[in-house]
Structure 1
Amino acid sequence: MAEIKLKNVTKRWGDFVGVQAFDLDIADREFLVLLGPSGCGKTTTMRMIAGLEDPTAGDIYIGDRRVNDLDPKDRDIAMVFQSYGLYPNLTVYENIRFPLKVRKVPQAEHEERVMRASAMVELDDFLHRKPAALSGGQRQRVALARAIVRTPQVFLMDEPLSNLDAKLRVSTRAQIKNLSHELKVTTIYVTHDQIEAMTLADRVVVMKAGIVQQVGTPTEIYDQPQNTFVAGFIGSPAMNLMAGEIRDGTFHSENATIPGVSGPPGKVICGFRAEDASVAEEGQGELRAPVYSMELLGDSTMVTVRTGRDLVAVKAPKEFRAEIKAPFAAHIPAEICHVFDAESGERVV
């Protein structure tokens, strides 16, 4: 049983607050992703769970044990870092086996456990090599195997894919997803990449400046962002956010008029997803503006226009073409709109 509980966990360095009153229950076998920009407190939170940082306040439980005063080696966790942390003088086999030697696991078990971990990440053909003879993706798989071989209660992964190129990130991400399903071990994964968060997580914790902004499933966070920060951080592209005002049930912004939008009268921010809007005939549609840019994405064409100071993207069919500055119109029905308070950025509707 490896349920993790963070109770009002705070980390300060002098006047600087790294993590503020983090309160969360992480279920046994859950894959939880801490997501946010650099400096938001996600790695600090992970390091406190690992025992590499001491919380200034609050309690951390792994299972039914309060672990605040336990050394990292006594918490039964395995970490995978952004830097692979391999021993250059050891072969892949010996790198994977190393945690077993340190923890004095009986020698008779080593071969079977190393080979099982190796097979899970498809390293059987590389066991005799040293890290210098491996690609970045292979080295990361060695780091994963070294964590797997321990059979810990908890996996902690700190931006493990950030050193890999785009193609390797996709394949290694799939491998981590499959491993999570096979191993059924509670996992906390830190990333700034929202695509990793959306594809891997059972739940996502979005953080900003040490404060939790929203906790939910990827679908909940994508479909119902709690504030403009989450809306602007999640999605590729991120949610469009238009500053304007609601008058008589209609949202008004420069180049956009959307009737039927629910929300308080006055200044608001209206958000919608690029894929939820559609191209309209010239002279029709709730949004009308000159084309600012056009990007061919293969399966679609992304058209960007400007409304006031805001850039707004609409996903058009892949065969759509338009010149820069040409007139463009899009349908933005009220039911696809999200309304946020203009001052606080918090969700209104």
Structure 2
Amino acid sequence: MAQIRLKNVSKRWPNFVGVDNFDLTVADEEFLVLLGPSGCGKTTTMRMIAGLEEVTEGEIWFDDRLVNRLEPKDRDISMVFQSYGLYPNMTVYENIRFPLKVRKVPAAQHHDLVMKAAQAVELSALLDRRPAALSGGQRQRVALGRAIVRQPRVFLMDEPLSNLDAKLRVSTRAQIKNLQHRLKVTTIYVTHDQIEAMTMADRVVVMNKGVIQQVGTPTDIYDRPANTFVASFIGSPAMNLIEGEINGGVFRAPGVQIAGLSNRVSGAVTLGFRAEDASLVSGNGQLSAEVYSMELLGEATMASFRIGDSLVSVKSAKSYRSEIGDTVHAAVPAGICHLFDHQTGVRID
């Protein structure tokens, strides 16, 4: 397989910076997810790794080989896109086989390689069908089978689940993760869906405006977001962020007073906490506000409040009920809180 190193890689156009000083090493056999909103540079980064975009500055290495000037066909990669890109006149068997023909793999090896790939993506019973006779999930599995059939050193996947409905996304992402674990191929996966990133990645690279915001395991970025952008992007719901003042270890904002915080910080800050870490209480709490909305989630009830310009959510038991406009109280212990610089948004430790 391959270790991939991006050394201070940038992609610039005359009036736009797509990727700025991207510096990262992807370990051999790692499943790395590039995560961020549309336009953040994640797909551009993947296209530079693939050789589909020219690097403006920096170097891309596959193990000990500089690949900046190599054509995509010479990088030994396989790509899976949002659009399946299947040949409608070919059967599933022929679609999976096609890369072997293009790369002039000896014909005697084709059948065994196709059958092995088809078995890996659970398509052995559908090899005689054409794409029009397949569901969206089955078509995406054909695209996966076509990517793995020639056993590349690197998989590159660009939002491969975006065209699937919610139920299929759940099952297909589990299959992709399991497949990558079994094949042990270095994989770079691009998505804007933080749930995909959290459930699939060994490590996540959170990007915004072409710049890396944080790199870490899903647990790292969920529990210790590096800044307010990461905090607001990761989690469902995202971390609550409240602007206020802290003095003497006490944070204050309209309807909020939380004691026991750091005495080393004073002045304007942004305080964050996760909805599931707080709780609704019958007596006084650190937060008091009118209910803005109530949502029954099945396993829990989500209550939301307006605190200044922020919408703040707290999870409670599924049996909890309250009416919009009721004043309720929430316990927000100091130990669950995060502090961020009011101006830069950077985490304060």
Into which bin does the TM-score normalised by the smaller protein fall? Answer: over 0.9
Unpaired stretches in structure 2, ≥5 consecutive residues: none
Aligned counterpart, 1:238? 238
SS in 2 for 1:292: strand
SS in 2 for 1:162: coil
Aligned counterpart, 1:167? 167
- TM-score under structure 2 length normalisation: 0.99
Task: Indicate whether 1:138 and 2:132 are aligned.
Answer: no
SS in 2 for 1:251: strand
Question: RMSD across aligned C-alpha pairs, in angstroms?
Answer: 0.7
Aligned counterpart, 2:106? 106
Listed one character per residue, the Cα deviations across residues 48-80 of structure 1 (whole Å, up to 9, x for unaligned) are: 000000010000001211000000000000000
Unpaired stretches in structure 1, ≥5 consecutive residues: none
Q: Distance in 2 between matches of 1:42 and 1:299?
A: 34
Counterpart AA for 2:191: T
Aligned counterpart, 2:23? 23
Counterpart AA for 2:233: F
How far the C-alpha of 1:190 sits from its partner, in A, is 0.1
Listed one character per residue, the Cα deviations across residues 142-172 of structure 1 (whole Å, up to 9, x for unaligned) are: 0000001010000000000000000000000
How far the C-alpha of 1:15 sits from its partner, in A, is 2.6
Q: Distance in 2 between matches of 1:23 and 1:9?
A: 6
Q: Distance in 2 between matches of 1:154 and 1:328?
A: 53
Aligned counterpart, 1:37? 37
Q: Distance in 2 between matches of 1:195 and 1:29?
A: 21
SS in 1 for 2:47: helix
Counterpart AA for 1:277: A
Aligned counterpart, 1:213? 213
SS in 2 for 1:274: coil
Q: Distance in 2 between matches of 1:110 and 1:175?
A: 24
Task: Indicate whether 1:324 and 2:349 are aligned.
Answer: no
Q: Distance in 2 between matches of 1:37 and 1:334?
A: 31
Counterpart AA for 1:155: F
SS in 1 for 2:113: helix
Aligned counterpart, 2:195? 195
Counterpart AA for 1:70: L
Counterpart AA for 1:214: Q
Aligned counterpart, 1:7? 7
Aligned counterpart, 1:281? 282
Q: Distance in 1 between matches of 2:338 and 2:248?
A: 17
How far the C-alpha of 1:279 sits from its partner, in A, is 1.2
- TM-score under structure 1 length normalisation: 0.99
Counterpart AA for 1:131: P
Listed one character per residue, the Cα deviations across residues 263-290 of structure 1 (whole Å, up to 9, x for unaligned) are: 51100000000000011114x1100001
Task: Indicate whether 1:313 and 2:318 are aligned.
Answer: no
How far the C-alpha of 1:108 sits from its partner, in A, is 1.3
Aligned counterpart, 2:258? 258
Q: Distance in 2 between matches of 1:63 and 1:94?
A: 33
Q: Distance in 2 between matches of 1:163 and 1:141?
A: 13
Counterpart AA for 2:73: K
Q: Distance in 1 between matches of 2:211 and 2:117?
A: 36
Moved over 6 A (4+): none
SS in 2 for 1:275: coil
Task: Indicate whether 1:299 and 2:302 are aligned.
Answer: no
Q: Distance in 2 between matches of 1:227 and 1:202?
A: 21
Count of equivalent residues = 348
Listed one character per residue, the Cα deviations across residues 52-111 of structure 1 (whole Å, up to 9, x for unaligned) are: 000100000012110000000000000000001111111100000000111111111111
SS in 2 for 1:39: coil
Listed one character per residue, the Cα deviations across residues 16-71 of structure 1 (whole Å, up to 9, x for unaligned) are: 10000000011000000000000000000000000000010000001211000000
Task: Indicate whether 1:269 and 2:251 are aligned.
Answer: no
How far the C-alpha of 1:125 sits from its partner, in A, is 1.6
Q: Distance in 1 between matches of 2:80 and 2:59?
A: 24
